[in-house]
Amino acid sequence: MVSAAPAPDPRAHILDVATRLFAARGFGDTSLQLIADEVGVTKQAVLHHFSSKEALRQAVIDVILDHWRDVLPRVLLAAAASEDRFDAVLGELYRFFAADPDRGRLLVRESFDRPAEVKRVLAESVRPWLDAVASYITRGREAGHHHADVDPEVYVLHVMQLVITATASASVLDAAIAPGSDARARYERELMRIARASLFKPATHHERGKRRRGEP
């Protein structure tokens, strides 16, 4: 689903298939044989490119993390201060995970299966920019744009979790709501609304026309 082309590079092809299968079935329930069959090679060809199943796991996760580490700074740099930018950043984040639900599923699975590893990554790679975002919120709070009782750090974590799980389990959640209009669009819209309404004060006196200008 994530790749149409069979990929000329077999290593990348294996990584791709493994990512999909690990996300869908979990690490323990995905045998090297299954991955190999799906790719169209033998199990030993897989083991040729990745010295062990564990190495394959690491490689799969690294792909996600690298992608993340690449995209996040770019997105956050675009986040100056205004409410419009907030939408842009959150939208980017949402689209990142919505583009491939496997990303979120892998992250969630990993946080369950190997909490120690994930904690390390969180402490090292996530905390820095979480601090940055949190301090941005704190500034906006002191400036009176944000609700006074926001817990910036935890707010950001909760919104991120919401993005991840909403995209990761969207296909399942469809069964819970009445069928009809595009559910995915509703998920995204409502998520954005929740995030916005719980952060921004409801448009105080001054600062009315300033909001929701067109963005380039």
Partner DNA sequence: CGGGCCCCTTACCACTTGGTAGGGAATCGC
Partner DNA sequence: GCGATTCCCTACCAAGTGGTAAGGGGCCCG
Residue among 45 and 76 whose Cβ is closer to DNA: 45
CA 28/CA 108 separation, integer angstroms: 15
Closest CA to 60 of 18, 122, 96: 18
20 binds a second copy, rule: CB under 8 A: no
HSE at residue 165, side-chain half, CA atoms within 13 A, is 9
* 22, 42, 81 from 35: Cα distances, Å: 9, 9, 45
* 76, 85, 110, 117 from 114: Cα distances, Å: 28, 34, 6, 6
Shortest Cβ 104–a second copy spacing (Å): 10
48 binds, among a second copy, DNA, none (CB under 5 to 8 A by kind): DNA
Question: Which H/E stretch holds residue 107?
Answer: helix 101-113
Q: Which residues contact 196 (CB under 8 A, 6 or more apart)?
A: 83, 86, 87
Q: Determine the interface stretch with a second copy among 41-49, 72-80, 106-114, 205-213 (rule: CB under 8 A).
A: 106-114
31 binds DNA, rule: CB under 7 A: yes
54 binds DNA, rule: CB under 7 A: yes
Count of positions on this chain that bind a second copy (CB under 8 A): 59
CA 170/CA 113 separation, integer angstroms: 22
- Which residue of 16, 17, 30, 107 would you call a contact of DNA, by CB under 7 A? 30
154 binds, among DNA, a second copy, none (CB under 5 to 8 A by kind): a second copy
53 binds DNA, rule: CB under 7 A: yes
Amino acid at 42: T
Q: Determine the interface stretch with a second copy among 52-60, 89-97, 135-143, 194-202 (rule: CB under 8 A).
A: 194-202
Q: By CB under 8 A, name the binding residues for a second copy.
A: 23-29, 105, 108-109, 111-113, 115, 118-120, 122-123, 126-127, 130-131, 147, 149-151, 153-155, 157-158, 161-162, 164-166, 168-169, 171-178, 186-187, 189-191, 193-195, 197-198, 201-202
